[in-house]
Structure 1
Amino acid sequence: MTEPGFPHPGPRLPDPLTPSDIGRWCEKSVIPGVQPELSDDAAVVIASGHLSDAARGIVIRRMSAGLPVPTSSSINGAGGFGGLRRLQRSIGAIEAQLANPMLPSMVAPVIRSRRNTMTRRLDDARKNVITGKGIFATSIRGIRRERREGVHLELVDRERLFVGLTYTPTPNVNSGGYVRRAGSAAIDRVAGAVGAAATRAGLDKGNRWVNEILGDLETPSPNGDAKFVDGYETILFAAGSFYDRIIRCPAWHSDHFDMQRTAVDLNAELADIAADVIALRTIRVDLDNSRRAAGFDADLSDHISSREGSLRPVWTELIDRVAALASVAEVVESAAVELRVIAEFAHTATIDDRIDRLVARSGEREISADNTKRLTEQVRAGEDQLRIYRDVLQGNIARLSTGDATMRSRRLPE
């Protein structure tokens, strides 16, 4: 029971995230709670992980210099580039359904028409990203200037960047319409029922029923958590989310963290994490294919297992780097609260000064120095707290910059 005159305690702050927490997320391919879509900037930086080192450096330089990069508005995408990812996966799902030889003849044209509509949308988005006006230079003079400045992204690299954007880490991309989640037997039953009903009711109703079965809208997971395709997508989304939290925090852009902002390039850090995760996943897929091809060759299987073991420290380091990024986000958000408190103290002090001047002019009482002293001490206490935040943040940035975090053994995601 809080005594009268004393403020109620604030809510308990959540415990800081640890590498073990992030490792568990990746093992389960789940991040607790409802997660917002990644920002356009985070999606572009992560997509640059699919490029060569030189091309990735160009994307980062463009962003650091404030030059245009693709945005979801340029492709008429609602909800960020996650919509592009859902579109790409929906096309793949429909292609698989059209390949089913048991698909009723009445339903196939409707689904094929839907596939063609989605493909046109994807092609339009591709053209807007690769050759759309207002993003990359299109005139000869502009291209030459950008090449001299080292910020021109060649056409082939824009193609790869667009492909990377279609793989933007997105929560719950597997939770669409019923047919997308069903097995082949269920697909046959549902498609057959729709075909028979459409024959009786006419093509318009058939279109509506198929539209409901293959609906574009994603539904959240039953428990409200964000689910992902695999652990690699999970860690990419986590890194992008922490990046967004830092970039969107006013404290990060304040004068208090000038030195820390110059100590780390968040765009380059996220891009490097993305490139390493994508490379690791590619190698893991190749190892799995080699293991299947090895058959009963024990020597080859042992060699593959040995090489897989050598990758575990890489995965561990990636988790540690993302955990360091999470620590930076938590520190700057705490500092933002402290800055708001200091601003409120300063505002209160200004009001007190105005009141004291008015009272002094009236001659009714002397200026209250005690109140002014109390507020000054509170402001100084807040500034001391900010200095602590700066010291902690500097340590977290050092973890990002040097990458010398303690190695702990963790299992690679499947």
Structure 2
Amino acid sequence: MSESDRPHLQGDDTPGHHGPSTDRRARIAGQVRRWCESSSIEGRHAPLSDAAAVALAAGRLDEPTRVVLANRRRAGRRLPALEGFGQLRLLSDEHDRLRARIAGQRPGASRLAVEYRANELARRLRVARQTVVHSPLHYAQGVRAVRRDRRDGLHLEIEQREALFAALQRTPTPLPVVPVEQARVALLGIAVDRVTRWSERTPLAETGRRVAERLARELPDGDDHFVDRYDTLLFLAGSLYDRIEASVAWRSAYFEVQRAQLDLPEEITQIAVDAVALRDLLDDLHTAIGTTPQARASLESRVAALEPVWDQILARVTALARIGDLLTRAEDHVHLARLAQRTANLDQRIDDLIGRSGARELSAENTDFVGDQLGVAAEPMVALRSALWTDIAELTAKE
């Protein structure tokens, strides 16, 4: 997965910049906060890897299940893979929307069409659930194998796998661009182009320019948008996980100590644990505020008491973002170091090649002598080959 597929931070814009670290931290922290509060990240980005999705899904599970997942990861035990857990989220969301739509529709052809689509999505979700929950390739099947995995803390019970699948259905992913919006974008783009061209070099050129600018402002921003700030934060955390894990510098000997200090999957899981708990708490508090107005003041004070928790979670994701930024810079240095090493090797090879000039002169003289000998020997070889050809020709003619 390429670096360009991951959220681009302001700290990455100037790899050679060596300004105060506090300035860089402030820039990255500000950008992370803006992205989360606006529920959008600039540009379009690749979906999360399965490893990142599982680490985030673990944040929705209980502690015993998280421990088993961590043990399986350290033991190299893989989990079932689908086409992508982000795609699973989109399927689940669309199915939920269709079921809600069906509940509010009257019987008729339109409802039948929606039910057909909902049933197709339900079938695909059942297949995905079967793969994640009951895969014989990933979970122990025999009694002895199950007992051994339980003893080693590697066995996920059926209920735990069900909970894992439900958590993976909530994998953070950008909202899809619906076909209607895609058509609107295409039509607006055509309109902007035509208004600009038709009004060019005419008395209405200025008016055409203003109309084109107004239409251009109606075009979508082309950024990834999310359900809320929590999904934005979790997607960003998962993307940073993928970015760090894919870093050549991070896997190099330069950062061996740092790799030992940071359990990256566990850090992502703990961020998810806190973010999910905060979202659930705030949802419950806002629901309580709406249903019990007499306790509004007390409940709002509790909402305010939770604001520092959001800041702390943002700080953890910002710390990951700074690591990603530093690794980008480190990769530049690793690349330069490799170039320097390659240049040094070339210099050594050049020196060795020049130093062997005397040996080459002697070798050339020896090769010329051998060539002369072969030339002398070649003449009788030609004669022998000619004679052999004549004998073969005569032999075949007699047959």
Counterpart residue identity of residue 33, structure 2: G
Paired letter, 2:297: D
Residue matched to 1:203:
none
Is the contact between residue 30 and residue 227 of structure 1 (CA under 8 Å) also seen in structure 2?
yes
In 1: Cα distance, 2:241 partner to 2:313 partner: 15
Q: Shift of residue 354 of structure 1?
A: 1.1
Cα displacement (A) at 1:344: 1.6
- Are the counterparts in 2 of residues 44 and 70 from structure 1 also a CA contact under 8 Å? no
In structure 1, what is the equivalent of residue 153 of structure 2?
150
Within 5 A, what are the aligned runs for 1:60-99? 60-72=70-82, 77=83, 80-99=84-103
CA deviation vs aligned residue, 1:343-390 (integer Å, no higher than 9, x gap): 1211121111111112122269xxxxxxxxxxxxxxxxxxxxxxxxxx
Report if aligned partners of 1:68, 1:136 keep a CA contact under 8 Å in 2: no
Matches within 5 A, 1:3-402: 12-13=14-15, 17-72=27-82, 77=83, 80-102=84-106, 105-173=108-176, 175-178=177-180, 222-295=220-293, 297=294, 300-362=295-357
Structure 1 residues 213-232: Cα deviation after superposition (integer angstroms, max 9, x where no partner) = xxxxxxxx932211000001
> What amino acid sits opposite 1:327 in the alignment?
R
Secondary structure of residue in 2 paired with 1:252: coil
Amino acid at match of 1:85: R
1:48–1:271: 8 Å Cα contact kept in structure 2? yes
Quick one: distance in 2 between partners of 1:248 and 1:260?
15
Query: Would you identify which runs of 4 or more consecutive aligned residues in structure 1 move more than 4 Å?
Result: 14-17
Is the 2:289–2:299 contact (alpha carbons within 8 Å) kept by the matching residues of 1?
Answer: yes
* 3-state SS, counterpart of residue 249 of structure 1: coil
Q: Which residue number in structure 1 is paired with residue 207 of structure 2?
A: none
Question: How far apart, in 1, do the equivalents of 2:326 and 2:13 lie?
Answer: 17
**What is the TM-score of this pair, normalised by structure 2?**
0.72
Deviation for aligned residue 1:337: 2.0
Q: Would the alpha carbon gap of residues 177 and 287 (structure 1) be closer, same or farther in structure 2, given more than 3 Å must change?
A: farther
Q: Say if 1:170 and 1:228, in contact at 8 Å, map to a contact too.
A: yes
CA gap of 1:47–1:154, structure 2 versus 1, over 3 A, is same
Distance 1:276 1:70, change over 3 A: farther
One-letter code aligned to 2:178: G
Distance in 2, matches of 1:309 and 1:130, equals 40
Alpha-carbon deviation of 1:178?
4.2
C-alpha distance in structure 1 between counterparts of 2:138 and 2:59, whole Å: 19
Match of 1:404 in 2: none
Task: Spell out, residue by residue over 1:13-54, the C-alpha distance to the aligned partner (whole angstroms, 9 max, x if none).
Answer: 496652222121111101111111111100011011111112
Q: Is the Cα contact below 8 Å between 2:80 and 2:135 reproduced in 1?
A: no
Deviations 1:189-231 (A, max 9, x none): xxxxxxxxxxxxxxxxxxxxxxxxxxxxxxxx93221100000
Residue 250 of structure 2 aligns to a residue whose secondary structure is: helix
Question: Aligned-pair distance for 1:11?
Answer: 7.3
How has the CA–CA distance of structure 1 residues 310 and 228 changed in structure 2, closer, same or farther, with 3 Å as cutoff? same
Structure 1, unmatched stretches of 5+, are: 1-9, 180-220, 365-414
Query: How many equivalent residue pairs?
Result: 303
Partner residue of 1:387? none
For structure 2, the residue ranges without an aligned partner over 5 or more in a row are: 1-11, 18-23, 182-218, 360-399
Structure 1 residues 94-120: Cα deviation after superposition (integer angstroms, max 9, x where no partner): 1122123356x1222222111111101
Q: Answer yes or no: is the 8 Å Cα contact 1:68–1:134 preserved in 2.
A: no
Q: Distance in 2 between matches of 1:54 and 1:328?
A: 30
The amino acid of 2:271's aligned partner reads I
TM (norm. structure 1) is 0.70
Letter in 1 for 2:144: R
Give the Cα separation in 1 of the matches to 2:245 and 2:144: 33
Cα separation, partners in 2 of 1:55 and 1:323, compared to 1, 3 Å: same
Determine the C-alpha separation between the residues in 2 that align with 1:327 and 1:11: 13
Q: Aligned equivalents of 2:228 and 2:48: distance in 1?
A: 17
SS at match of 2:337: helix
Q: Following the alignment from structure 2 to structure 1, what is the Cα–Cα distance between the partners of residues 358 and 350? A: 12
Distance 1:160 1:19 in 2: 33
Tell which structure's C-alpha radius of gyration is larger. 2
Residues 255 and 279 from structure 1, CA distance in 2 versus in 1: closer, same or farther, beyond 3 angstroms? same
Aligned-partner Cα distance in 1 for 2:118–2:105: 17
CA offsets 1:250-273 (integer angstroms, 9 cap, x no match): 111111111111101001100010
Q: Tell me, yes or no, if the aligned pair for 2:105 and 2:111 is still in contact at 8 Å.
A: no
SS in 1 for 2:227: coil
